[in-house]
Amino acid sequence: MTDAGSERAAGGAFRPETYKDPTLVLELRDRIAALAAEIGRPVKLMHICGTHEHEIGRFALRDLLPDSVTLLAGPGCPVCVCDNEYINMAIQLSLTPGVILCSFGDMLAVPGSIPLEGERRGDVRMSLLDARARGGDVRTVYSVFDAKRIAEQNPEKEVVFFSVGFETTVVAVAAMLKRGAPDNLTIIEANYYTPPATSLLPELDGFDIEGFMLPGHAVTITGLRVYEHLAERGIACASGGFEPVDVLAATVSLLEQLRDGKPTVANPYARLVKYDGNEKAKRELDEVFELAPIRWRGIAEIPASGYWLREAFAAHSAARRFAGRLDPVALRGAEHPKGCRCAEVTLGQIRPDECTVFGKLCTPDSPYGPCMVSHEGTCRAWYVYGMHKDRLQVEAV
Amino acid sequence: MAPPDDLVQDATLPARGSSSAEPAQPARLVSRYDSIRLSHGSGGKLTLELIEDLFVSVFSNEPLRELTDAAIVANHGGRIAFATDSHTVKPAFFPGGDIGRLAVAGTINDLAVMGAKPAYLTAAFLLEEGYDMAELERVVRSMKATADEAGVAIVAGDTKVLERGHGDGVFINTTGIGFLSDDVRLGVSYVRPGDKVLVNGTLGDHGIAVMSRREGLELGAELDSDVAPLNGLIEQVMLVAPNVRFMRDVTRGGLAAVANEVVLRQPFGLRVFDVAVPIHELVEQYSEMLGIDPLLAANEGKLLLIVAADEAEAALGAMKAHPLGREAAIIGDIVRKPEGVALVETAYGTRRVLEMPIEEQLPRIC
């Protein structure tokens, strides 16, 4: 927090250990308990970032919260909200002769809506892994720059980059395109902008979240101003980093706002987040992309929440270049498989273990819905870290 | 360690240290060809040349020199432990080791954790046409150095050559035999609640070292793989802690995989104390950066050992006294409940499941 931040600002070595410090963590736990007691009623908070859920699981941080404070996972996983139209498009393109489909590893196992033939386990659909098994040229990349290199090395091929992600990943795509991309490189535009989705949540029936822990990575780019409208509606907001100290410090900030009855947009993650974000990144983003409506899988089409290539860069749009070669009917299909409740999990309406297929038909090694596939997915984090089990009561000798 | 005394060492070869660090390059043994040709695997003249000039010359022991269809070796008594392992690693040379050292240490460790004394290995090479002869020689010399370090002889072998494009340079299979006395009793069935869980040093070094090299990461400091034969260390531990219940080398899947194998369908759980697990500072940094859990990362010179509580300190002392165990630690214990679960207790007293790894560890995107 403040001390650690100033240590870094003063040129001290960056020591992640500081933000895991047990003494500090337990102090924050006590502070949270005291605030919860002062508030004196149950409070629901929500984070909207897959990495938050992952770290909360890894350090079992929910065990540090009092019973009256619930910290839910919201729509924070780009893989989970990526509409199946884009997944189906990627699958179709990967099976098109002469096309190399480049994707982040996280996307490979996510089923779209094309049925997987010969599969008898129920409503099981095809993923990019299945496409690869059927001869599709699907390559795992770590960044758009890997895809660019593959395009340069294969001038006779069409290279398609499956550009999935939030603000944080689309920035790299903008930077690459702006500096000049090979003609044979196109992207599937499946990039999502978070703030409009958080505006949608309060419109939902039964919405009772009182505070949002804002995603540390994304607000590093966008800044915090774009969340002010939430505070104006009476919802507390605080930027959240990813270390245990960061998560608990953001929780403290949210609870303080609620205790004082003064919701605002606080910045406890100030060591990385500036209130106005990263101006240069925002400028480059705006040069290459414009905001447009996009479908969030299983949720809704949300206005101005997707990044489309501007006209000057539209030659790199896979949807445009391959328009005549895609099967439009197969692109659209039922969003989630039958029985899958990923949409409700994504909105924080149910816990993963309230879904009947969780841990049975749907496991990380054989995922049924998208939230079980991605490392950022809520269901996967719950499964892997055992958050669905009752507290791990130990009986030692 | 001394090699078994029925094997005569060839004095004509330069002595090698235990490290696979680059020695001064001696003159190439196979001088006629710069790279592997299909004929090197055809069973004809080139095959014989490769075997005699390279494998027999470097591995250098009587049974191998005979060039018989099978090696005839001495029986050291007791029961026989028998293990095989195939090796492929990218890159073949990585910080702190190479595929040769890996192939020898891997099989030796499989034998040693069963309580056996490894004695003989076979080595089968699958070489890709065009593979660099000098590199092959480095791999073979590294195998010899590692075998010497462990007191083991490579007594038989095989070579096949795959057409260019049908292999990945070099694949190596090693098969090993070790001898274990009749009174050695090790296995999960001997594990009891209250037993202590030990490792012989920092976890995740190999996985992160190889991955950082593969991903071209530079942090300004080099992290070495831990690849090493553990039979010497294990022998020392067994001397002072006769009630070792179970040992397993921690390899792919890391601590998480082994911990889960231990508790699978057992009426006890395994608890790991997060803060007690030794992790190299660079591994900590790399894994934070890559979004990888060091408890799931691969090792090639580590073992998990479960021992009766009253012998835990003795076992720890024996480990720490050995060069491959200086950073050994007691990292956890066997608990009555929860049954069948491996769990991690954090520095904050919170607990999470230590899940069986699901897939290969890949850097996360976001």
Output the pLDDT for position B222.
Answer: 79
Q: Do residue A59 and residue B338 have CB atoms under 8 angstroms apart?
A: no
CA distance B353 to chain A (A): 5
Tell whether the model's pLDDT for residue A95 goes beyond 90: yes
- Closest chain A CA to residue B293: A58
Output the pLDDT for position A9.
Answer: 31
Number of alpha carbons in the 13 Å side-chain half-sphere of residue A110 = 33
Query: Which residues of chain A make contact with B334, given a CB cutoff of 8 A?
Result: 397
Tell whether the model's pLDDT for residue A319 goes beyond 70: yes
pLDDT, one tens digit per residue, over B136-179 is 999 999 999 999 999 999 999 999 999 999 888 999 999 999 99
Sign of the dihedral defined by the CA atoms of residues A66, A67, A68, A71, in that order:
positive
Output the pLDDT for position A120.
Answer: 62
Give the C-alpha distances (Å, rounded to integers) separating B26 from A393, B53, B58, B136, B354.
Answer: 61, 14, 12, 14, 48
Output the pLDDT for position B15.
Answer: 39
Q: Do residue A60 and residue B194 have CB atoms under 8 angstroms apart?
A: no
Task: Tell which wins on pLDDT, A3 or A131.
Answer: A131
Strands (E), A138-220: 138-141, 158-165, 185-191, 211-215
Q: Do residue A396 and residue B358 have CB atoms under 8 angstroms apart?
A: no
Tell whether the model's pLDDT for residue B89 goes beyond 90: no
Q: Where residue A119 falls among pLDDT bands split at 50, 70, 90?
A: low
Output the pLDDT for position B20.
Answer: 45
Dist CA B249 CA B199 (whole Å):
10
Query: Which residues of chain B make contact with A385, given a CB cutoff of 8 A?
Result: 352-353, 355
Sign of the dihedral defined by the CA atoms of residues A382, A384, A385, A386, in that order:
positive
Output the pLDDT for position B28.
Answer: 74
Residue percentage of chain B with pLDDT more than 70 = 89
Output the pLDDT for position B16.
Answer: 38
CA distance B307 to chain A (A): 14
Query: Which residues of chain A make contact with B345, given a CB cutoff of 8 A?
Result: 394
Tell whether the model's pLDDT for residue A381 goes beyond 60: yes
Q: Give the H or E element holding residue A378.
A: helix A378-384
Q: Where residue B361 falls among pLDDT bands split at 50, 70, 90?
A: low
Q: Where residue A1 falls among pLDDT bands split at 50, 70, 90?
A: very low
Domain ranges of chain A: 19-332, 342-384
**ipTM for the complex shown:** 0.80
Q: Which residues contact B198 (CB under 8 A, 6 or more apart)?
A: B304, B305, B306, B307, B312, B315, B316, B319, B328, B329, B330, B331
Which pair of structure tokens corresponds to residue B191? 């594990």
Output the pLDDT for position B24.
Answer: 52
Q: Which residues contact A202 (CB under 8 A, 6 or more apart)?
A: A209, A230, A233, A235
Task: Tell which wins on pLDDT, A142 or B342.
Answer: B342
Query: Average pLDDT, stretch A201-213?
Result: 91
Dist CA B122 CA B107 (whole Å):
10
Q: Nearest Cβ partner of B350 from A63, A104, A376?
A: A63
Output the pLDDT for position A375.
Answer: 77
pLDDT, one tens digit per residue, over A216-255 is 999 999 999 999 999 999 999 999 999 999 999 999 999 9
Q: Nearest Cβ partner of B336 from A364, A384, A397?
A: A397
Q: CB atoms < 10 A from the CB of B113, how many?
A: 23
What domains lie within chain B, and their CATH numbers? 38-180 (3.30.1330.10), 188-353 (3.90.650.10)
Q: Sheet containing A211-215: give its strands across.
A: A69-73, A43-47, A211-215, A236-240, A265-266
Q: CB atoms < 10 A from the CB of B9, how many?
A: 14
- Closest chain A CA to residue B347: A22
Length of chain B: 366
Dist CA A22 CA B293 (whole Å):
19
Among A279-288, A293-302, B6-15, the minimum mean pLDDT is found in B6-15
Q: Nearest Cβ partner of A386 from B333, B352, B358?
A: B352
Q: CB–CB of B112/B158 below 8 Å? A: no
CA A327-A332-A337 angle, 5° bins: 130
CA distance B189 to chain A (A): 18
Those residues of chain A whose CB sits closer than 8 Å to some CB in chain B are 16, 20, 22, 25-26, 29, 50-51, 57-61, 63-64, 78, 104-106, 140, 142, 165-166, 168-169, 217, 244, 364-365, 375-376, 383-387, 389, 391-397
Strands (E), chain A: 43-47, 69-73, 99-104, 138-141, 158-165, 185-191, 211-215, 236-240, 265-266, 289-296, 300-309
Tell whether the model's pLDDT for residue B31 goes beyond 80: no
In a mutagenesis test of the B interface, which of A384, A388, A390, A391 is the best target, namely the one with the most B β-carbons within 10 Å? A384
In a mutagenesis test of the B interface, which of A392, A393, A395 is the best target, namely the one with the most B β-carbons within 10 Å? A392
Residue percentage of chain B with pLDDT more than 90 = 74
Q: CB–CB of A333/A114 below 8 Å? A: yes
Q: CB atoms < 10 A from the CB of B272, how many?
A: 22
Q: Do residue A396 and residue B362 have CB atoms under 8 angstroms apart?
A: no
Q: Where residue B17 falls among pLDDT bands split at 50, 70, 90?
A: very low
Tell whether the model's pLDDT for residue B2 goes beyond 50: no
Parallel/antiparallel/unpaired status of strands A265-266 and A289-296:
unpaired
Tell whether the model's pLDDT for residue B12 goes beyond 50: no
Cβ-based contacts under 8 A for chains A and B: 106
Among A303-312, A356-365, B235-244, the minimum mean pLDDT is found in A356-365
pLDDT, one tens digit per residue, over B299-325 is 999 999 999 999 999 999 999 999 999
Dist CA A109 CA A129 (whole Å):
6
Sign of the dihedral defined by the CA atoms of residues A165, A167, A172, A173, in that order:
positive
Q: Do residue B348 and residue A25 have CB atoms under 8 angstroms apart?
A: yes
Q: CB–CB of A273/A223 below 8 Å? A: yes
Q: Do residue A397 and residue B358 have CB atoms under 8 angstroms apart?
A: no
Q: CB atoms < 10 A from the CB of A119, how many?
A: 12
Among A11-20, B322-331, B354-363, the minimum mean pLDDT is found in A11-20
Q: Nearest Cβ partner of B350 from A64, A395, A397?
A: A64
Dist CA B79 CA B313 (whole Å):
29
Which pair of structure tokens corresponds to residue B304? 């998990």
Give the C-alpha distances (Å, rounded to integers) separating B361 from B210, B290, B346.
Answer: 12, 10, 22
Which pair of structure tokens corresponds to residue A55? 């770290």
Considering the four listed CATH numbers 3.40.250.10, 1.25.40.10, 3.40.50.11740, 1.20.1530.20, the one that applies to the domain covering A19-332 is 3.40.50.11740
Output the pLDDT for position B9.
Answer: 39
Query: Which residues of chain B make contact with A168, given a CB cutoff of 8 A?
Result: 366
Give the C-alpha distances (Å, rounded to integers) separating A63 from A60, A70, A92.
Answer: 6, 11, 44
Q: Do residue A394 and residue B351 have CB atoms under 8 angstroms apart?
A: yes
Q: Do residue B351 and residue A391 have CB atoms under 8 angstroms apart?
A: yes
Among A350-354, B105-109, B259-263, the minimum mean pLDDT is found in A350-354
Q: Where residue B91 falls among pLDDT bands split at 50, 70, 90?
A: confident
Output the pLDDT for position B6.
Answer: 44
The mean of the pLDDT values for chain B is 89
Tell me if the pTM is above 0.90. no
Q: Which residue has the tokens 């010899």?
A: B144
